[in-house]
Amino acid sequence: MEMKIIQSPAEMQLQAHTWKKEGMQIALVPTMGCLHAGHLSLMRKAAENADRIIASIFVNPIQFGPHEDFDAYPRQFQADCDLAEKEGVHVIFCPDTKGMYPHGFQTTVSVGTLSQGMCGANRPGHFDGVATVVSKLLHLTSPDVAIFGEKDFQQLAIIRQMVRDLNFPATIVGAPIVREEDGLAMSSRNKYLQGEMRTQALCLYRSIQSAQKKVAHEQQVVAADTIIEATKKTVAEAGGKLEYAVVINEHSLQAETLVGSSSVLAIAVKIGGVVRLIDNSKLFTTMK
C-alpha cells in the first residue's frame, strides 16, 4: 500500500472512518517532524499494535511560549516522509495551522495538577497546547492505540490522564527512550547542539547514571535531596543551566522524599543558554 499524504482534517477523518468500517486497527504516532531514530521506534511499536499506521507531522504553535523556538523549530518534511514510508507508515497527516485552528478557534483542553510542576512551571500554557492538539488528533484519526515516547515523561502522564478523564476509546502506549551511543536522549532539538554544546549536553545522562549507581550501591534508603544536589553539581560543572531536577513518583508525578521502587529522576537543562533538553529514568533499574 502506497503511503498517502493527507493535509485536510476532514479527509483524515474520512480515511480513518473508512478503515474502521473495514475492521482495521489504527495506530497514531503524533510528531512535530524532524524525525530521528526515536520517532522511528514509535512507528515500529505502532506496527506491532495495528493494521494501519498514521504519523502526524504538525509543529503545534499553541504549545510554544512567546520566547520559545516555534519559528526556528527544525523542519524537514520530505526527509520525514521518506523515513516514515520506509517504516511502513500508511498515512502522513500534515495539517496546516489554519486547518487545526480555524478563525475563531477558542476551545482548549487543560489537565490540572499533573501539568503544574516540572516543565509546566517554566512553560505556562505549554501543556494546555499539548492536550488540545492531542485531543484533536485523537478525534481526527480515531486510533485504537496512540504511541508516545517516554522521554516526555510529564507529557505522557498528562495524555494518559486526559484520555481517561474524557473517555477517549484509545490505548496510550509509552515507548522507551532511544539514546545516542554516548547516552544522549534523542531529540529533534539535538540538531541545535554545536561544538562544545554537544559534549555539555551529556550532563543529563551522566546525572542519571550517577544517581542510579548511588541508589544501587547504597546499603540504606537514599534521600531524594542527595540525588538532586548531585545532579545540580554535575550540570553546573558541565556548564549547563539547570531548569529543574526532581525525584518524583512515576504514577502521580508528586515529589518524593526518599528514593523508592517507583522513583524517577527527571531533569531539564538549558545548554548554551538556548537549547532546552529533558531526560528521565527510573532510579531503581532492578529492585534489591
State the cell numbers at 181: 551511543
Cell of 35: 524525525
Neighbours of 199 (CB within 10 A): 14
Give 121's contacts (C-beta < 8 A, 6+ positions apart): 244
- List strand residue ranges (DSSP E) for the chain, in order: 4-6, 26-31, 52-57, 91-93, 145-149, 171-175, 241-249, 263-271, 275-282
CA dist., res. 260 & res. 112, Å (int): 25
Evaluate whether 125 touches 102 at the Cβ level (below 8 Å): no
SS3 78: helix
User: Residue 199 in contact with residue 174, Cβ under 8 Å?
Assistant: no
Spell out where 42-196 has E strands: 52-57, 91-93, 145-149, 171-175
Three-class SS state of 19: helix
Tell me if 265 sits within 8 A of 211, measured CB to CB.
yes
268 - beta bridge partners? 244, 278
Residue 132 DSSP symbol:
H
Known catalytic residues are 39
